[in-house]
């Protein structure tokens, strides 16, 4: 135990990424109140760890030991470390189960993610129904480390496993008149307590993308996480990851994909159109009426960091929206 | 024993009001503050603040209408504890969440209705907390009562603060519940309403007791 605090050796895993360091510095610059935070940090526990930038999974007594080699830490292209498997799979917005993010993983424990089929149809030449195993075999499964920015103002870095949606769409051959892709989640009140009446939401959950967004290489059909099958709480067995859009666009537990000519209705846009637009691209310049979109809290990090346009994917996706007023088309 | 009979409610109030803070500290060391501990602390302190403020609003009607005199013993303590949690709530927001970045906080206050509402509620509570001592009561005399009627504004604004930040009131009715309770508690202070309920209670009691008439606080018309 004493050797753990060997000050001469600094593991590369202990070197703080620059912008974390900078945000922490901004945090600490603030004189007297910083002392209070320092005191809280010194008190330790979960809050102390968070303020010190030491992450620990929820629901465990001890913080996880830091991985010994930097190679083991997965990072996004900015060098930010991925959140732990525990954090990613136990802090979820999955309203079919509950609105309580902490309770989802427990309620989802017995969810039946196998067998599972997905129908792909609508305006396509080859409508098909795929078994989830077909999809896993047919398309190479690759790891993509994406940032996920929730519309609520928090974010994570997540090493998804999956395949780009365009591979699947090419197989079914969209017709010329297809302009949008509509996604539908499972409707099963037996399994989803929050779908049982009386329910407030127009289930099933639906989402949509413009066809060019759906064909973009970043748009991922997700089947796994950290090299393992996708946890139930994250939308097993098949979900979407559209990293430049707010998290709710990345629909979970997909059973149906449909190509349409008209812009499809989506659940949140139907419920509160002035709050959740069809596009819902991450945009720090467009405040949400009830919370900040200019900054975000990276889970496991102290303070807040600035939110990046298109969640940091502007270089890849800004072209999709050339000439569009994103204040209007939010 | 007599002391306990006279003061049990005070003990319950102090323990009950401090317990949530103890649970937060305990959960901190048990790593039980969710993956988003700052958010969790903000949410918990805010809810406790609101509950305590509503309870302090309940003390007066409990006495005037139901003759539960002991409620008055804890009215000030509940209000002050509510203010304490509101202060922790604000501190967690400003220091833990926003790192006391005043520019960012200012921008957020302007941008978000719920932040404005929460801020107003807190500011109203400050002079009430400061003047809650006997000394200030004596100094302000009649004006003290008038000043402390501001709590009838602060608590509804705090409920509004809660209602404005909830994603959809239909699925999360808590703010509506708080709102309904506050409306009832405020309505019970309207003299006509108070008299009507007191009379009703008096009648019911009178009927039950028939011949053995016993005066109660209710018929003093407080």
Indicate the pTM of the whole model.
Answer: 0.74
3-class secondary-structure state, position B159: helix
- Beta carbons of B28 and A60 less than 8 Å apart: no
- Chain A nearest CA to B194, separation (Å): 37
A60 Cβ contact partners less than 8 Å away, ≥ 6 residues apart: A86, B31
> Which chain A residues are Cβ-neighbours of B41 within 8 angstroms?
47
Furthest C-alpha separation in chain A: 68
Please identify which residue in the block is written with the tokens 């990090």.
A301
Domain coordinates of chain A in residue numbers?
14-54, 73-105+113-319
Sign for the pseudo-dihedral over CA of A92, A93, A97, A101: positive
- Report in angstroms the alpha-carbon separations of B157 from B150, B161, B222: 11, 6, 27
Q: Which domain holds residue B113?
A: 2-202
Residue B49 host element (H or E): helix B37-64
- Beta carbons of A61 and B113 less than 8 Å apart: no
B54 near B182, Cβ under 8 Å? yes
Q: What is the reported pLDDT for A57?
A: 44
- Beta carbons of B99 and A26 less than 8 Å apart: yes
Rounded to 5°, the CA angle A323-A324-A329 comes to 180
Contact status of B87 with chain A (Cβ, < 8 Å)? no
Q: Which residue of B has its CA nearest to A55?
A: B35
Contact status of B7 with chain A (Cβ, < 8 Å)? no
- Beta carbons of B99 and A30 less than 8 Å apart: yes
- Report in angstroms the alpha-carbon separations of A69 from A14, A77, A158, A301: 10, 18, 19, 21
Query: What would the pLDDT profile of A120-147 be if each residue is shown by its tens digit?
Result: 999 999 999 999 999 999 999 999 999 9
- Report in angstroms the alpha-carbon separations of B13 from A145, B16, B17: 50, 5, 6
Q: Tell me how many domains chain B contains.
A: 1
Q: Token pair for residue A4?
A: 């753990």
- Beta carbons of A30 and B100 less than 8 Å apart: yes
Domain-embedded: residue B214: no
B104 near B110, Cβ under 8 Å? no
Sign for the pseudo-dihedral over CA of A250, A148, A95, A191: positive
Query: What would the pLDDT profile of A18-57 be if each residue is shown by its tens digit?
Result: 555 555 545 444 454 556 666 777 777 888 887 776 654 4
Domain-embedded: residue B93: yes
ipTM for the whole predicted complex goes beyond 0.90: no
CATH number for the domain whose boundaries are A73-105+113-319: 3.90.420.10
> Which chain A residues are Cβ-neighbours of B170 within 8 angstroms?
200
Domain-embedded: residue B25: yes
Query: What band does A174 get if pLDDT is binned at 50, 70 and 90?
Result: very high
Is residue A199's pLDDT more than 50? yes
Mean pLDDT of B25-39: 88
Residue B65: burial class (beta carbons within 10 Å; 0-12, 13-18, 19+): buried
Is residue A156's pLDDT more than 90? yes
């Amino acid at each position: 135990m004493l050797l753990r605090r060997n000050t001469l050796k600094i593991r590369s895993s202990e070197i703080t990424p620059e912008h974390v360091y900078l945000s922490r510095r901004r945090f600490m610059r603030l004189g007297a109140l910083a002392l209070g935070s320092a005191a809280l940090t010194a008190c330790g526990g979960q809050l102390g760890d968070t303020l010190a930038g030491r992450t620990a999974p929820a629901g465990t007594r001890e913080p996880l030991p830091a991985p010994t080699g930097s190679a083991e830490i997965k990072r996004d292209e900015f060098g930010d470390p991925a959140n732990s498997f525990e954090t990613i799979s136990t802090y979820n917005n999955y309203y079919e189960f509950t609105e309580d993010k902490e309770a989802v993983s427990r309620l989802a424990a017995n969810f039946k993610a196998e067998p599972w089929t997905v129908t792909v149809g609508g305006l396509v030449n080859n409508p098909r129904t795929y078994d989830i195993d077909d999809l896993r075999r047919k398309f190479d499964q690759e790891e993509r480390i994406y940032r996920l920015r929730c519309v609520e103002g928090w974010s994570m870095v997540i090493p998804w496993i999956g395949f780009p949606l365009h591979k699947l769409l090419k197989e079914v051959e969209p017709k010329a008149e297809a302009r949008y892709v509509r996604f539908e989640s499972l409707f099963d009140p037996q399994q989803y307590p929050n779908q049982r009446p009386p329910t407030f939401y127009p289930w099933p959950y639906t989402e949509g993308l413009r066809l060019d967004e759906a064909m973009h290489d970043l748009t991922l059909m997700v089947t796994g996480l950290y090299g393992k099958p996708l946890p139930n709480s994250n939308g097993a067995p098949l979900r979407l990851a559209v990293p430049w859009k707010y998290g709710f666009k990345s629909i979970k537990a997909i059973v149906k994909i449909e190509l349409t000519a008209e812009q499809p209705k989506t659940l949140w846009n139907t419920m509160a159109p002035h709050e959740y637009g069809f596009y819902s691209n991450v945009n720090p310049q467009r405040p949400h009426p009830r919370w900040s979109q200019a900054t975000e809290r990276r889970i496991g990090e102290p303070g807040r960091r600035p939110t990046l346009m298109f969640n940091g994917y502007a270089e890849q996706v800004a072209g999709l929206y050339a000439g569009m007023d994103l204040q209007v088309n939010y | 024993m007599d002391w306990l009979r006279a003061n049990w409610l005070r003990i319950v109030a102090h323990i009950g009001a401090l317990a949530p803070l103890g649970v937060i500290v305990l959960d901190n060391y048990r790593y039980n503050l969710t993956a988003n501990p700052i958010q969790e602390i903000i949410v918990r302190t805010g809810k406790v603040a609101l509950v305590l403020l509503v309870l302090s609003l309940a003390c007066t009607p409990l006495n005037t209408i139901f003759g539960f005199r002991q409620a008055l013993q804890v009215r000030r303590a509940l209000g002050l504890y509510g203010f304490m949690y509101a202060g922790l709530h604000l501190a967690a927001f400003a220091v833990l969440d926003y790192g006391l970045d005043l520019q960012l906080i200012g921008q957020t206050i302007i941008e978000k209705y719920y932040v404005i509402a929460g801020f107003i509620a807190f500011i109203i509570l400050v002079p009430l907390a400061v003047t809650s001592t006997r000394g200030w009561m004596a100094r302000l005399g009649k004006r003290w009562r008038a000043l402390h009627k501001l709590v009838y504004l602060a608590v509804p604004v705090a409920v509004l603060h809660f209602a404005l930040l909830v994603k959809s009131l239909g699925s999360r009715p808590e703010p509506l519940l708080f709102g309904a309770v506050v409306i009832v508690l405020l309505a019970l202070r309207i003299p006509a309403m108070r008299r009507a309920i007191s009379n009703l209670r008096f009648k019911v009691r009178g009927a039950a007791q028939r011949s053995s008439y016993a005066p109660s606080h209710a018929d003093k018309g407080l």
